[in-house]
Each structure stands twice: as structure tokens, then as C-alpha cells.
């Protein structure tokens, strides 16, 4: 399938230095892999340094690129500043920030402790804010001609979603930050965009979000009009495009990549999808007869 293939031409991110939070696993690792294949140097961060070291070896062997693993809890501003310092020490510059690190779990909201709610808000919203602020200040101070911030939000950032309320609340904040800074920081050459992915199964997050047989009970592909879940490469293609100069005129945009999933949930009469053709014949006859 075409969408499983790399999209951009070779060298599209040549010598770009890109920091990917949560880059040691899941979708962050998939996007990092493609950035490396396109010629970028990538800094991957996570709280788990062993995971990062394993990812570094795997990614370097697979792509021939250069990966710098830096342990960081994005909730801690000093640790984020240390990532920036380590990046500049290793590569002398930084061109892109991908705010990908996230935390989430499903739960009825009334079952959450205040600390549980804070934990998700802190990772998602405060973490994205910490990274954005540290890297943005650097780019502005150093008068770097151009740089890019790419935020990973969700399709429920604008609709909200039951049972993931801390995540929905935090992602809505990240969305507002994306659009606000796209205007405010464009004069400094900083483009700010976001991607809202629908279901893209990963081993870690997916198993935590839908544990046990919930995965089979709520088969995500049934919610998607195109009839399948996302492939990591198609998300990586979009992320690489938004990181690259090919998207230089795109600023403040949130691109949804979900096969139409959230709109299927939104349209008032979308449930009519289940009506078979014969019933449509009958319904049409009934509606027309009413008109007469």
C-alpha cells in the first residue's frame, strides 16, 4: 500500500536537529525513525534511560543516523533545559521540537485522585509548555532564522471525551497554545503546528488504554469510516512534512489523521450508515408518500 511507504524525497531533513519527547517508544520512535531516514539528527527523551539507550542502538543501526538519548521528565523545567543544553553541546544547534510525550489512562473522572488528574495534565500540558518555552526562548535569543514546533494532540482536543478527561483537558490546552504561538512567534521564524491522530495502535499506550479484552470488545477500526486503524509510517510521513521546509507556509494548523473517525461520531445522522439498501428503498417510499 502506498500509505505504508516513505513519502518525502531523500535528504528532506538533511542536517536538521530535531528533539522528540517520548521518542524512545511507540509513535515517537516511529516518527524519529523517519526523521533519521530523511537525514536528520534526532534527540530522543524519556523518563526511562534504558529504554532510550536500546532505542538509540536500534534506530542508528536501522537508519545510519545519529541519535542522542537524554533522560528527561518533561514535567521538570530544569530537566527540559538540560535537554536543550545537551542538544546544543552535541550538535551545535536545534531546528525542531516534537512535543510527543504524553500520559493517559481511561477512568471515570470521579474515581481519579487530584494527583492522578494532575499527573496527566502535568505530562501533557505542562510538559509541552516546558519544552515549548525553553526551546522558543533559545530560538528567539539566538535569532535563529527558522525553527519548528510540532505538537501531538488528539481528535478529542476540540470535542472533549468522556473517560479521558485529564487528557482531553490538557490536549485542548496544547491546541490553544499551538494556535496562539503560531501567530505570536511567527515573527521569530518559529512555525507552530499540530497533528491530531486517531487510532494508531502501539504496544505500550494501546495496551494501557484498552487493557485485557477491551481491545476486542471496542475494536477501534469499526469506528473509522475508512475501515482500518492508522499505519505508523503515514503518521511519520505527515510529521516529517510538517517538520520540513516543504510545509513552510503552514503555520497554526492542526491536521487530523484519523480516517474520518471523529466526524463519524459527530454527524447527527451518521448512525444511518447501518441501514441496508433494501431498507433505504422502503424508507424512500415512506418519505415520498408522506410528502403527497
Binding region for ligand HXC (CB under 6 A) out of 13-21, 111-119, 223-231, 247-255: 111-119
Q: Which of 35, 43, 2 is nearest to 19 (CA)?
A: 43
In the list 32, 147, 167, 233, the residue contacting ligand HXC (rule: CB under 6 A) is 167
- Give CA–CA dist 61/123, Å, rounded: 30
Distances in Å between the Cα of 220 and the Cα atoms of 9, 210, 262, 273 are 32, 10, 12, 17
Catalytic position from the list 3, 142, 156, 241:
156
CB contact at 8 A, 69 and 42: no
In the list 16, 99, 104, 132, the residue contacting ligand HXC (rule: CB under 6 A) is 104
Minimum Å gap between C-beta 73 and ligand HXC is 8
- Give CA–CA dist 21/71, Å, rounded: 10
What secondary structure does DSSP assign to 2-19, as a single string? GGGS--SPTTTTTT-EEE
In the list 112, 140, 255, 257, the residue contacting ligand HXC (rule: CB under 6 A) is 112
Q: How far apart are the first and last CA of the chain?
A: 50
Does 7 bind ligand HXC (CB under 6 A)? Our answer is no
In the list 13, 70, 102, 182, the residue contacting ligand HXC (rule: CB under 6 A) is 102
Q: Which of 46, 48, 18 is nearest to 33 (CA)?
A: 18
Q: Interface residues for ligand HXC in 210-229 (CB under 6 A)?
A: none
Catalytic residue status for 163:
no
Does 208 bind ligand HXC (CB under 6 A)? Our answer is yes
- Give CA–CA dist 121/74, Å, rounded: 11
Does 115 bind ligand HXC (CB under 6 A)? Our answer is yes
Strand-by-strand arrangement of the 67-71 sheet? 67-71, 41-46, 17-21, 96-99, 147-152, 190-197, 254-257
In the list 69, 96, 103, 127, the residue contacting ligand HXC (rule: CB under 6 A) is 103
If the CB atoms of residues 195 and 205 are measured against ligand HXC, the closer one turns out to be 205
In the list 7, 60, 107, 223, the residue contacting ligand HXC (rule: CB under 6 A) is 107
CA trace torsion 247, 192, 252, 245 (10° rounding) = -10
Q: Could you tell me the three cell numbers for 262?
A: 471523529
Size of residue set near ligand HXC by CB under 6 A: 17
Does 199 bind ligand HXC (CB under 6 A)? Our answer is yes
Element (H, E) at 64: none
Does 119 bind ligand HXC (CB under 6 A)? Our answer is yes
If the CB atoms of residues 87 and 128 are measured against ligand HXC, the closer one turns out to be 128
Q: Could you tell me the three cell numbers for 183?
A: 501567530
Binding region for ligand HXC (CB under 6 A) out of 57-65, 106-114, 133-141, 282-290: 106-114
Binding region for ligand HXC (CB under 6 A) out of 57-65, 90-98, 116-124, 283-291: 116-124
Site residues (vs ligand HXC, CB under 6 A): 102-105, 107, 112-113, 115-116, 119-120, 154, 167, 198-199, 205, 208
Residues belonging to the active site = 156
Amino acid at each position: 500500500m502506498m500509505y505504508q511507504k516513505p513519502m518525502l524525497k531523500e535528504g528532506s531533513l538533511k542536517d536538521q536537529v530535531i528533539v522528540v519527547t517520548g521518542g524512545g517508544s511507540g509513535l515517537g520512535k516511529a516518527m524519529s525513525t523517519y526523521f533519521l531516514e530523511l537525514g536528520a539528527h534526532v534527540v530522543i527523551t524519556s523518563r526511562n534511560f534504558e529504554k532510550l539507550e536500546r532505542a538509540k542502538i536500534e534506530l542508528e543501526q536501522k537508519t545510519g543516523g545519529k541519535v542522542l538519548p537524554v533522560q528527561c521528565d518533561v514535567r521538570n523545567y530544569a530537566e527540559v533545559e538540560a535537554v536543550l543544553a545537551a542538544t546544543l553541546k552535541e550538535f551545535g544547534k536545534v531546528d525542531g521540537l516534537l512535543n510527543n510525550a504524553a500520559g493517559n489512562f481511561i477512568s471515570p473522572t470521579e474515581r481519579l485522585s487530584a494527583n492522578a488528574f494532575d499527573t496527566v495534565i502535568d505530562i501533557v500540558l505542562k510538559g509541552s509548555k516546558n519544552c515549548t518555552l525553553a526551546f522558543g526562548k533559545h530560538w528567539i535569543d539566538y535569532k535563529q532564522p527558522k525553527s519548528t514546533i510540532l505538537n501531538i494532540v488528539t481528535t478529542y482536543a476540540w470535542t472533549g471525551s468522556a473517560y479521558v478527561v485529564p487528557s482531553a483537558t490538557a490536549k485542548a490546552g496544547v491546541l490553544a497554545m499551538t494556535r496562539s504561538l503560531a501567530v505570536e512567534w511567527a515573527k521569530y521564524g518559529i512555525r507552530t503546528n499540530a497533528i491530531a491522530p486517531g487510532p494508531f495502535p502501539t504496544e505500550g499506550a494501546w495496551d494501557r488504554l484498552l487493557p485485557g479484552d477491551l481491545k476486542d470488545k471496542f475494536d477501534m477500526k469499526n469506528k473509522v469510516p475508512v475501515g482500518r486503524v492508522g499505519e505508523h509510517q503515514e503518521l511519520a510521513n505527515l510529521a516529517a512534512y510538517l517538520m520540513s521546509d516543504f510545509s513552510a507556509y503552514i503555520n497554526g494548523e492542526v491536521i487530523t489523521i484519523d480516517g474520518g473517525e471523529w466526524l463519524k461520531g459527530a454527524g447527527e445522522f451518521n448512525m444511518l450508515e447501518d441501514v441496508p439498501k433494501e431498507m433505504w428503498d422502503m424508507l424512500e417510499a415512506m418519505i415520498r408518500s408522506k410528502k403527497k
